[in-house]
A and B are shown apart, each in its own frame.
Chain A
């Protein structure tokens, strides 16, 4: 059974059909990538899955349940975490606090317990802190633990955002252009992390990415979209060989 099923998804902004009839299924443990030229609607698909936009039509099912009607804050507790193309972090907090905020949905102590810092709260705090330390170790963020986000280089902030998504403890992680703006070595790190997420953490990964080398290296399957419409779906090499995909990327010859 699929972990994520997107069926006939569409969103229209006025007359602009940003996403128009996209369907795909992601199996548990799969790395699934969405590619396409700029403005193809890739990030919009992410925003629809994480319930920031309401679709004009179509359904999104996660783990067997219809999540199309949920609100944006109800998605994380189900086990869906994500990163953003333009990095959305808590800029005036430390790396540690950003990752701890990822544990928000797992905090179940109440207001009075919190205020009195009771033993139950301390136990929970320690558990969350341990989880966050594991994530930091995995992403090699320890050196930045107490640093403010606002002062960190772009590449590190991108990794912090992946860290916060992992701290949520998701089943499905959505990575929106994780390698954009990164050096070759940094994108190679991202590739290794994605493989580890799948192999060691049992995560399912849905990724939007332009770097075809990264896509080909880590993806099981690829969906190509252009102008909001699906073009091709299959293994990375199948999709890269598709005539329609090549036309969308390289442009077609002008008809005589």
Chain B
């Protein structure tokens, strides 16, 4: 019984890692760059939602407040690419790494100066509620997290498989030159993908905040999500999500059954093990090479 409860909680936190990892992979697939500020975008999204929703701030209803925050962060993501990242278009990968690490610090500072550094709690309609299931109780926040993640993943899949913009993004990620030549505005598509990853980050942030307090440093969770993305193969959206869930499940199990300290190390131990044994990630798409 205990185990089931641990598992459900683990899957729920894994979904949050997975969503942040999705943000990494989205930008990596489209632009072949890694946005190390992804975790901080999650943090900022959570704070903006808190700013809209909490009764001592704007006090909007929960869902409209969250949607507004997601839309705003979409704009922030788009703007970051349009006005900052595009300035270093064509520079070595290294430039983007440093740029986004710095950007993460800036976002943390912005959040700190607006909302302060002491932990705040996002007011959610389902805070602290549980649903009894047999002899165990399941947190509503966990159920919401899992459902929202499933829906968001489905929506993202539909976006890439069916929409004009999604298909253009896939094309641009496979071959920029070919995408240009069939009329895809590659730079604008990159900005749209950054915007989309801002939206995904916000939803991850809200789900994260529904399970506890937030402060400007929670974005450091991005490092764990990065490990999740690596485990998943860094080019695969489902891989990122599954990598996140794997980490989310292993963490509480390790805390429960293994000596102290292993739990905190577990994401990175898994990442190292995966990198050594399957360098392309557990869920990497197979690229059959014919000779």
Contact with A along B150-167 (1 / 0, CB 8 A): 000001001100111111
Interface size on A, residues (CB 8 A): 33
Interface size on B, residues (CB 8 A): 29
Contact with B along A82-117 (1 / 0, CB 8 A): 101000111111000000011011010111001101
Give Cα A233 to B250, complex, Å: 72
In the complex, identify which listed stretch (B81-89, B176-184, B199-207, B217-225) lies at the interface while the others stay far away: B176-184
Q: Is the CB of B182 within 8 A of A101?
A: yes
Give Cα A172 to B186, complex, Å: 22
Q: Which residues of chain B come closer than 8 Å to A102, judged between CB atoms?
A: 182
Of the candidates B164, B174, B177, B287, which one forms a contact with A109 in the assembled complex, judged by CB atoms under 8 Å apart? B164
Is A77 part of the contact surface with B, judged by Cβ < 8 Å?
Answer: yes
Give Cα A108 to B164, complex, Å: 8
Q: Is the CB of A115 within 8 A of B181?
A: no
Q: Is the CB of B183 within 8 A of A76?
A: yes
Is B4 part of the contact surface with A, judged by Cβ < 8 Å?
Answer: no
Is A239 part of the contact surface with B, judged by Cβ < 8 Å?
Answer: no
Of the candidates A52, A91, A109, A168, which one forms a contact with B180 in the assembled complex, judged by CB atoms under 8 Å apart? A52
Is A71 part of the contact surface with B, judged by Cβ < 8 Å?
Answer: yes
Q: Which residues of chain A come closer than 8 Å to B166, judged between CB atoms?
A: 114
Q: How far is the CB of A244 from chain B (nearest CB, A)?
A: 33
Knowing A73-B186, A104-B168, A115-B158 are in contact, say whether A52-B163 is a contact too (CB < 8 A): no
Q: Is the CB of B167 within 8 A of A104?
A: yes
Give Cα A253 to B168, complex, Å: 53
Give Cα A199 to B168, complex, Å: 32
B174 nearest in chain A by CB position: A90
Residue with the greatest number of chain B CB neighbours at <10 A, chosen from A101, A105, A115: A101
Is B290 part of the contact surface with A, judged by Cβ < 8 Å?
Answer: yes
Is A150 part of the contact surface with B, judged by Cβ < 8 Å?
Answer: yes
Residues of chain A from 39 to 82 with CB closer than 8 A to chain B in the complex: 50, 52, 71-77, 81-82
Give Cα A231 to B184, complex, Å: 36
Knowing A52-B177, A88-B177 are in contact, say whether A101-B158 is a contact too (CB < 8 A): no
Q: Is the CB of B181 within 8 A of A81?
A: yes
Give Cα A151 to B288, complex, Å: 8
Contact with A along B133-164 (1 / 0, CB 8 A): 00000000000000000000001001100111
Q: How far is the CB of A150 from chain B (nearest CB, A)?
A: 7
A151 nearest in chain B by CB position: B290
Give Cα A93 to B177, complex, Å: 15
Is B185 part of the contact surface with A, judged by Cβ < 8 Å?
Answer: yes
Of the candidates B164, B181, B186, B285, which one forms a contact with A88 in the assembled complex, judged by CB atoms under 8 Å apart? B181
Contact with A along B186-211 (1 / 0, CB 8 A): 10000000000000000000000000
Q: Is the CB of A92 within 8 A of B287?
A: yes
Q: Which residues of chain B come closer than 8 Å to A158, judged between CB atoms?
A: none
Give Cα A72 to B205, complex, Å: 37
Of the candidates B167, B181, B184, B186, which one forms a contact with A50 in the assembled complex, judged by CB atoms under 8 Å apart? B181
Q: Is the CB of B183 within 8 A of A90?
A: no
Of the candidates B162, B167, B181, B186, which one forms a contact with A117 in the assembled complex, judged by CB atoms under 8 Å apart? B162
Knowing A104-B168, A107-B164, A115-B158 are in contact, say whether A91-B183 is a contact too (CB < 8 A): no
Question: Which B residues are closer than 8 A to A by beta carbons?
Answer: 155, 158-159, 162-168, 170-171, 174-175, 177-186, 285, 287-290
Supplied contacts A77-B183, A92-B287, A104-B184, 11 more A-B pairs, CB within 8 Å: A74-B183, A76-B183, A82-B181, A93-B170, A101-B178, A101-B179, A104-B164, A104-B168, A111-B163, A111-B164, A114-B166
Question: Which A residues are closer than 8 A to B by beta carbons?
Answer: 50, 52, 71-77, 81-82, 84, 88-93, 101-102, 104-105, 107, 109-111, 114-115, 117, 150-151, 164, 168
CB-CB nearest 6 A-B residue pairs: A76-B183, A105-B183, A114-B163, A72-B180, A88-B178, A90-B174
